[in-house]
Structures are given as structure tokens and as C-alpha cells.
Amino acid sequence: MTAGPDTLQSTTTGWPWRAGNEFRLLDGGEVFFGRMLAAIEAARMHVLLEMYLVSSGRVAGRFIEALTSARARGVRCCAVFDGFGALGLSGGDRWWLEEAGVEVRFFNPLRWRSRLRNFRRDHRKLLAVDGEVAFVGGAGLADEFAGPDAWRELMIEITGPVVADWQRAFARTWRRLGPALALPEPAAVPLPGGALGRLALSEARQHSVLANGVVRRIDAARTRAWIVSAYFVPSRRFRKALRRAARRGVDVRLLMPSARTDHPWVRQAARRFYGKMLRNGVRVFEYQPRVLHAKMIVCDDWVSIGSSNLDRWSFKWNLEANQEVADARVAGAAAALFSADLAVSSPISRRYWPQRAWLDRLRERIAGALDRWLEGWRRPP
């Protein structure tokens, strides 16, 4: 199956499709944290880390140890942490990083005088090492993503020419916070038989290329449009695209969080849209075993994995980053993960949805009113 008419086009933010990449889906914290730490331990030149959620604990401690060890052998280590998401990073851990020579910059630290600008957050999750390998997804450096009750999360490991673009993307964020990064341009050598891939970034205050791309893919889907999202409060445009796709016979499935969620009111705000989507043929499932935190879209043979929840709040206020892949093999692997999660999820019944408890309806209305109120806030210039 072809990747679509825009395969060879650059996005409006300048990120073109790159051929000759390898992508590896990493399923669960024990897997992706292990691969990320191994990459840092093998680093020879530089480690670039951009994270929203960073909280002192076992996971963050392992990364701090890996970064300080890398610095001890002469590797340059640069980290961008979000000023709000990293509030859980202790003063001792910050001192340890700075003492070791790890260069740390904080995106938009909270300030009273900033007012609504405090809502601008760097929600991206990126690790790039030596211009050779990158990791992108939805996990933070926090203990919630490891252990037997870890939140359900995915990351993607990337090698090939698109890694150079991830290094450039990090450099842009780094430059916003201080002097330029000044690293050598990585070699962009295509791998034989590799897949097409490109960056999809969302910049706060700008019309989202990431959001537009997903809507286009849903509109162009012929067989499937499967979405996993932890906090799915989509715009009207997204909802209409999903309903249109289902009405023309596309297999549209949404995998959403159950009552096991860290943001119950966001879940309630999303559930108010279920009825209309169910009536139009969209199938909705709620993941049961653990907290669902993954973010993935599969449309035919196109996949997008990253930090974006596809909700209006993210596109309005956050920096987001997804890896797009146009490849049947990667799409097949992503679909297999999706299907495995569906096997432990509960379907929402179109027949019985109108009969749900009045208390659930009330919660949905209150959450919906709050969502509309927040949506009405004007972004600061």
C-alpha cells in the first residue's frame, strides 16, 4: 500500500520524508528504558535529552547515573526539561547533574508574572545519541513507567537519516533557551531496504502541522484508522473526520483509558463524544489492566507515535513531537500491539451506552463544560 500523496512533500515546518530508516517499536518501560540507557552508555560524542515529566526516583536515578557516567568519559550531555513537568526532580538530583557537567535548561519555568504563558509546556519526549539513534514516544523519566503496575506506554527506536532531523529539532528548542547547540551535522546515510519516516511537530501558538497531518490521513484511510490515546478530547474537525471514515466503511477503532486513569475528568470530557461516534460506526474500547498512557495512530500502512494525545489542549499550548512512518511492516507491528491491547479492553456498546448511569452523564456534562471554558481562553501573544 502506498504512503499517500504527500509522501515526498515537506511539511510547512520544513521536515521532509526521509528514506532508508529502521524503526523498532518498544513495548513497555522495561524494554524502552533498557534500550535508551544502553544507547547513553554507548555514546561517544553527545547525548540530547528532551523530557516533559522528570521525577526523582528509581527511573530518573538510572538516567542521571548514565548521563553523569557519560560526562565522565568526555561525552557532551544536554538536557531540556519542562519547567512544570520537572517539578518532581529534587534539588539533590539537579545538583548531581550540574556538578557532573550535564548541561540542563528548563523550558518556561513557572512565574507568577507569566500568567497564562505558564500553560505553555514542552511535552516532547526525545532522546538522540551521536546523531545515530533516537527514541521518541510518550514516556517520562518517572517510576510510573516501570515495574509490574507500570503505565501502558510505547516508544519507537529510530536509526537512519531521520535521526539527523531529530537532532535539528532538539537544537531548535535548545536555541530558544540560550546559546546555540553547535554540534556537527550528523551523517544521513540511508539504510538499504529502510522505511520512509519524518518528524511531525506541533508548536504552541501555531497552526499544528501534526494535527493537520493526522486529519488528512484519516480522510484518506481506506481500510483502518486505529487510535490509542490517553487523553482524547478531540476537536470537532477530528470527530467529523472519524465519523466520515467510519461511514464510508473504514475500520475506525479508538482505544481509550478506563476508570484507571491519572486524569479522570479528562476521561469524562472525552466520553461525552462516544454516543455520536458509536452511532456513526466508530468502535470504542476502554483499556482495563492499567493506566493507559500510550499515543499511537495507525491509518492503513502509516503510523504515528509520539507525545501528542491529539487533544485540543495539546495543540493549543504544548510543544509535541511524533515520529511518522510509512511502511507496511511497521504498520503491521503497530497493529499487532493494538490488537493485543484490544484483547484486554472492554468494548463500549452502542446499544447500552444511552442507558449508562445518570451520575456518569452528570460527570460528563460537568467535564465538558470545563473543557469548553478552558478552550475559550485566549493564548497570550
Neighbour tally for 372: CB within 10 Å: 10
What CATH number is given to the structural domain containing 241?
3.30.870.10
pTM of this prediction?
Answer: 0.91
- Got the DSSP string for 229-279? -SS----HHHHHHHHHHHHTT-EEEEEEE-S--S-HHHHHHHHTTHHHHHH
Find the helix packing angle between 358-375 and 264-271, rounded to 10°. 100
pLDDT at 176 (0 to 100): 93
pLDDT at 341 (0 to 100): 97
Specify if 31 maps to a domain.
yes
pLDDT in tens, 176-195: 999 999 898 887 788 899 99
Give the pLDDT mean for 43-47: 97
Residues with a catalytic annotation lie at: 123, 125, 130, 293, 295, 300
Give the pLDDT mean for 199-214: 76
- Cβ atoms of 8 and 17 within 8 Å: the answer is yes
For residue 70, the enclosing domain spans: 18-375
Q: How many domains does the chain have?
A: 1
Q: Cell triple for residue 175?
A: 536555541
Specify if 11 maps to a domain.
no
Specify if 368 maps to a domain.
yes
Going by the DSSP 8-state scheme, the letter that residue 152 receives in this structure is B
Specify if 173 maps to a domain.
yes
H-only helix segments in the chain: 29-41, 58-72, 91-100, 162-176, 209-220, 236-247, 264-271, 274-279, 312-317, 328-342, 358-375
pLDDT in tens, 223-262: 999 999 988 888 888 899 999 999 999 999 999 999 898 8
d(CA 75, CA 71): 5
Q: Cell triple for residue 288?
A: 482495563
Band of residue 310 on the pLDDT scale cut at 50, 70, 90? confident
Neighbour tally for 346: CB within 10 Å: 12
Residue 94, Cα to own-chain centre: how many angstroms?
Answer: 25
- Cβ atoms of 129 and 159 within 8 Å: the answer is no
